[in-house]
Chain A
């Protein structure tokens, strides 16, 4: 599968089989995340893999954005101590947010290639996740990537036509 084919075929999956995702695959997915670009190459992220059923369930019932019962989750967190040491913004850093998003995309694309469904979730309470995962105050959860084998073939979502979004050299106003 080419990269573009993988990108176009990936879907946000919310219904998962209970089949576990192996440690080896989870390790590969974190490796893919860690190879994402990051602002100033700061790599402020740290990843918590959650796969024990009871821990997944606890995170699920306290996170409204988690629909379905995934087999595993990768919680992408930001290390504020590292940010401080590097002398860069931590909590409010826009580039760190973007970096987290790119790390999540790497996870989701590789997961898709391996036949695993995924969904990035931001609808959770960071303090709740810190409590459940024993995260210290300087480790802030930013995104949760849900993982699991899909129960069914997902439908193709609506995508805006490319012509509506692409501009060459200058912004073209079709309706001034």
Chain B
């Protein structure tokens, strides 16, 4: 019950984050779009971990996001390179599943 409540709170938090981000992005810098999306993905992955729904590969992606998310706002090319690497990693992950 306790973990169900925690999952509910985390998912509700994510919904709040996504909706308020969507509204905020009309008046925020362009790079905040990818940043908010990737942070939403990070929140979801962490929630999956807490709920026991993750695996080693997904945890590695979450860790990679947390370590590199600042690249997104550093400059355009750093952001593209960082996200490109994540996308390629996801492609291999999807292929193997």
Contacts and interface: CB of A to CB of B under 8 A. Distances in A.
Interface of A: 61-65, 67, 123-125, 128, 158
Contact of A63 (B20, B32, B74): B20
* Range class of the B interface residue count: 10 to 19
A124 B24 CA distance: 7
A61 B28 contact: no
A61 B21 contact: no
A123 B24 contact: yes
B28 A67 contact: no
The secondary-structure label for the interface of chain A is loop
A61 B8 CA distance: 13
The secondary-structure label for the interface of chain B is helix
A123 B13 contact: no
* 3 pairs of A and B residues whose beta carbons are closest in the complex: A64-B21, A61-B13, A61-B16
A124 B74 CA distance: 21
B39 interface: yes
B46 interface: no
B16 A62 contact: yes
Contacts of A158: 74
B92 interface: no
Given A64-B36, A67-B39, A125 B24 contact: yes
Interface string B40-63: 000000000000000000000000
B20 A128 contact: yes
Contacts of A128: 20
B17 to A, nearest CB: 6
Contacts of A63: 20
5 contacts: A62-B16, A64-B17, A64-B21, A123-B32, A124-B24
Interface in B35-91: 36, 39, 74
Contacts of B36: 64
Given A64-B36, A67-B39, A123 B17 contact: no
Contacts of B39: 64, 67
Interface centre among A64, A124, A128 (most CB of B within 10 A): A64
A165 B36 CA distance: 31
Contact of A62 (B20, B28, B74): B20
Given A61-B16, A61-B17, A67-B39, A125 B32 contact: no
Contacts of A65: 24
